[in-house]
Chain A
């Protein structure tokens, strides 16, 4: 239900005319660190990786500081036939462990368990996670969506259609990434100006999940899976991945989503730790945060021809930064990404 979100936005609206939202300085209480596990095995080719960290305090950043990474742990994945793969630490990324056995590939119908022995000697184990099949993405469509706020790029809303199988309970998750064109003023090289047009990668970290509980056996139509920002004239590339997830994983990500969307309303769900399927083997009352999942994946790509679009001329000006476009934007390149048409 989005009501709680709506109500809070109403209250926020109310409070803007009557009151306000203020930033307050509250120190985060520090409790004993808890183990955080993030891992996934798929039916695609290896390697598969698992990230182990502890909770702690840090200010900013999308990567946990190295001091919170768990190094020196013993990590294995075992399937229900007894096949086991050991995960080795990745040197450049503290806390990340990766499979090295190329013959250990996730298979639909099997179940997988993750086992961790921490340097302190504690053993954690995930519950068996079944790798369920996933239907193919039938169709991707894109529709231009204008954002009224001109400092933000408008773009294409990418939507997926899938036929849900009627015989089983299905849970889905989508992720997507893409490439958009972006301009810069460029820098002079030789007699001309170089590096005005780049391709930049675009990602989206939001959790996009779905249950067939209300639509079992029907079409999933127009599921919004990605928003491709439109900065400059030209094609846009998008790749969408559709994952099967288990019921437990769905519930975990649902809770994750709920906790992330907490807005401080009294209609918010009560805050709760995001405990998943990983338990201390000696003490079942001790749960780790995070989730170890198993998914089948189907992927589809879409090329959007943004050339025909007519926007008011000043639209693009807002998004042109000065200098070499390869330096102005992270991971930008002047070459079209390989293997895309």
Chain B
């Protein structure tokens, strides 16, 4: 039992930073008590079947493989080390083992004492009948406690039609319910009415601070090296925190432990290569992959001055995996992404990510395993002004360094306990301006570097109360400290903050704590099995975010920078609850679900009208506190087997924001709630794959969404002898609806199922019926007449041909 006084203190500290939220302390208390109960439950006496499921070739454990005991409603899902535990009374059984990308295997078993079963599954490379996008096991959506999550099947991602043939994980995710983007060419994605910076994107546990190439047209992680993509829109496991809205985990392939493989491809804008194989067979494997883009031939076709713009990007992935022994596994991941964009004789923009992580997984016993991760991630953005009289260099960057340990303990088949601690150090340079030559008239300016530490501890338990009911409770506590060296302004009270109302400036030494924030983050999930193919699930989670992307444009732009919480910017806070009904038909051929959610967000960062954000030493004078709410209904149906596979989903959701301040000049929309820029109420998506003879596959996507909110003028006047339009209500209008159909034909040259060298040709047509989808509507003065124009980015059909090879 934890010491009571500490417990009370934590509750109090939580209460202090969130006055008026007393109920939250109660929720936390109840959570703690129930969690403790997990440790006190007696283990039931039955025969224990333990085992592990691994890949027959790579010997790597298969995570979340499904184990089904035939003619019973018993089953299990393998843990992070491929292990599973079943408990069965004496008797004869048939066990079915399955996992996406592997051939299912059936084993007969006579149970009369505790048994250990090592299972090796054979990869199913030619499994073209694979599901477009689906859960990991045929009935995982019914049997697992997790809801509001999406797993992408990487096998078929290349067949999904995309712009200019660049396979893109984020574009494919945006076909899913609850995931949207601001528009074509906008960076990042929005999950259930959350902002782009509220997604925790982890590549082998490395947080990525920018997920886009070429200003937002393409994703910065090449799908070739990725084995597993999971997005959690809600019910985020207690293990993860630090972002408000979602968790996206990208797992890199470990590399082939058996033989050297080369794969690659060429699309109209980039070329890719991926090499992996063993250094020591079955012991040490490597993977090296890269992608280099050549978009300039497209840009050169631009009319006018634009043809002189130049863009370039590349990304690089590498992983080394080492099997120390049966119980220990370690790997090192490296990632680099680079982009630049040049406007001739004017400005050169560049941005890059450099990241590495080291992981150690150890299985201490059948019940207990742990892992240690050391993570480094750096994202930087640079601008060079090329005009000689004002030549300059502007740099901003963020560094994230983290160590974390996680322990998984499975005392019995009905209990699973996870716990862990993590510590992160942040260093953020919001902007540093320096003259680039002696002739330059620019004065150097550096915005103070920000330092912060974020620590977290969590405990989470999953408990199968009886076969039809399972409960998962997690509790996470996080501490954030904004640290010196730094200066903090003191402002007059009862007037808007501005440089004129600074009373005093406090100076903090290096390492001195400037501000502390801390709080509980309870997570809860409940599953009620109604029948073997129907389940009801509930979840609730609270999340806290101490890191903010400062951006006051509709979509995030490449010059946006990050900021840590400080005395003026409290952490963002969200509470989300969801309820879902899941039902499968025809032996899991059809998966259907209905989910509803409600999300409440507090202490969002908003901006004054006309805020100056970049290189503002007193940025708090331009920031305002905002709050938001989002809610929605998500319907989805998947077909998982047969020649035709695919998904239909419909989402109705809203996302609203309000900025309430006591000062009129600071108010947005008079303090009332208004739609956020990514509020798109109706969202329909259809995607499908149809298998044709001779290795051909036909794939199609159709999407329909409401137009995003926009602010249209609602009055006109003359100022400075120029007609000016007035915008008095933010986001009161909407641009027209968006819909689009894409198709692709894929030719797989494999003649037999075991052929290892083959080609994959993909011909795709993006925006097949060439709809001029509005990207934005804007108003401009043509001489003295105000006219409205609609801009479409991909207003025509975009054909492309991509070649992928596997040697």
Contact = CB atoms under 8 A, between A and B. Distances in A.
A18 B716 contact: no
A23 B787 contact: yes
B703 interface: no
Interface string A270-303: 1111110001000011110110000000000000
Nearest to B729: A31
A53 B610 CA distance: 24
A264 B789 contact: yes
A3 B305 CA distance: 15
Contact of B614 (A1, A12, A219): A1
Given A30-B715, A62-B784, A268 B554 contact: yes
B717 A64 contact: yes
A62 B786 CA distance: 11
B304 A21 contact: no
Contacts of A273: 609, 726-728
A273 B701 CA distance: 40
B304 A22 contact: no
Interface stretch (A84-92, A252-260, A321-329): A252-260
Contact of B306 (A10, A267, A272): A10
Interface in B136-195: 182-183, 185-186
A263 B724 CA distance: 14
Interface stretch (A32-40, A101-109, A131-139): A32-40
A115 B694 CA distance: 83
A1 B776 contact: no
B784 A266 contact: no
A165 to B, nearest CB: 14
Most chain B CB within 10 A, of A4, A28, A58, A264, is at A264
A59 interface: yes
B674 to A, nearest CB: 11
A289 B790 contact: no
B726 A24 contact: no
B216 to A, nearest CB: 9
Interface stretch (B107-115, B285-293, B440-448): B440-448
A282 to B, nearest CB: 13
A62 B723 contact: yes
Contacts of A17: 298, 301-303
A289 B729 CA distance: 14
B772 A29 contact: no
Contacts of A53: 717-718
Given A11-B185, A31-B729, A271 B711 contact: yes
A21 B790 contact: yes
A268 B780 CA distance: 13
Given A3-B347, A3-B559, A18-B794, A289 B726 contact: yes
A13 B554 CA distance: 20
B726 A266 contact: no
Given A3-B558, A259-B724, A286 B302 contact: no
Given A10-B309, A62-B723, A272 B732 contact: no
A214 B724 contact: no
Contact of A3 (B298, B443, B557, B778): B557
Contacts of B349: 3
Nearest to B607: A270
Interface in A42-85: 53-64, 68
Interface stretch (B51-59, B501-509, B643-651, B664-672): B664-672
Interface string B694-720: 000000000000000001111111111
A14 B793 contact: yes
A247 B594 CA distance: 54
Nearest to B722: A205
Nearest to A287: B664
Nearest to A65: B718
A286 B615 CA distance: 31
Contacts of B722: 62, 205, 260
A215 interface: yes
B775 interface: yes
Contacts of B95: none
A19 B776 CA distance: 13
Contact of B445 (A19, A20, A214, A263): A214
B656 to A, nearest CB: 15
Given A62-B723, A264-B791, A29 B554 contact: no
B795 A68 contact: no
B465 interface: no
B792 A34 contact: no
Contacts of A286: 664
A269 interface: yes
B720 A207 contact: yes
B724 A256 contact: yes
B306 A28 contact: no
Contacts of B186: 266
Contact of B728 (A12, A34, A57): A34
Given A3-B347, A264-B791, A215 B785 contact: no
Nearest to A14: B793
A218 B719 CA distance: 32
A60 B784 contact: yes
A26 interface: yes
Contacts of A258: 610
Contacts of B347: 2-3, 6
Interface in A221-271: 221-222, 251, 254-256, 258-260, 262-271
Nearest to B305: A9
B715 A28 contact: yes
Given A20-B792, A214-B433, A55 B664 contact: no
A26 B774 CA distance: 14
Nearest to A275: B665
A193 interface: no
B16 interface: no
B609 A272 contact: yes
Contacts of B779: 262
Nearest to A272: B609
B777 A24 contact: yes
Given A53-B718, A260-B724, A20 B795 contact: yes
Nearest to B185: A11
A274 B724 CA distance: 9
A157 interface: no
A162 to B, nearest CB: 12
Contacts of B185: 11, 14, 266
A143 interface: no
A55 B717 contact: yes
A111 interface: no
B784 A55 contact: no
B343 interface: yes
A1 B785 contact: no
A311 B383 CA distance: 38
B389 interface: yes
B609 to A, nearest CB: 4
Contacts of B343: 6
Contacts of B555: 266-267
B156 to A, nearest CB: 27
Contacts of A3: 347, 349, 383, 557-559
13 contacts: A6-B346, A11-B791, A11-B793, A16-B303, A17-B298, A24-B789, A55-B716, A214-B433, A218-B441, A256-B720, A256-B724, A264-B776, A267-B555
Interface of A: 1-4, 6-7, 9-26, 28-31, 33-34, 36, 38, 53-64, 68, 205, 207, 214-216, 218-222, 251, 254-256, 258-260, 262-275, 279, 284-287, 289-290
Given A20-B795, A279-B664, 15 more contacts: A3-B347, A10-B215, A13-B299, A14-B793, A19-B772, A19-B792, A21-B792, A25-B788, A31-B714, A62-B718, A205-B722, A214-B443, A256-B719, A259-B724, A272-B609
Interface of B: 182-183, 185-186, 215, 298-299, 301-307, 309, 343, 346-347, 349, 383, 389, 433, 441-443, 445, 552-555, 557-559, 609-610, 614-615, 664-665, 667-668, 670, 711-730, 732-733, 772, 775-781, 783-796, 798
Going nearest first, the 5 A-B pairs with the smallest beta carbon separation are A19-B795, A264-B778, A13-B306, A55-B715, A255-B610
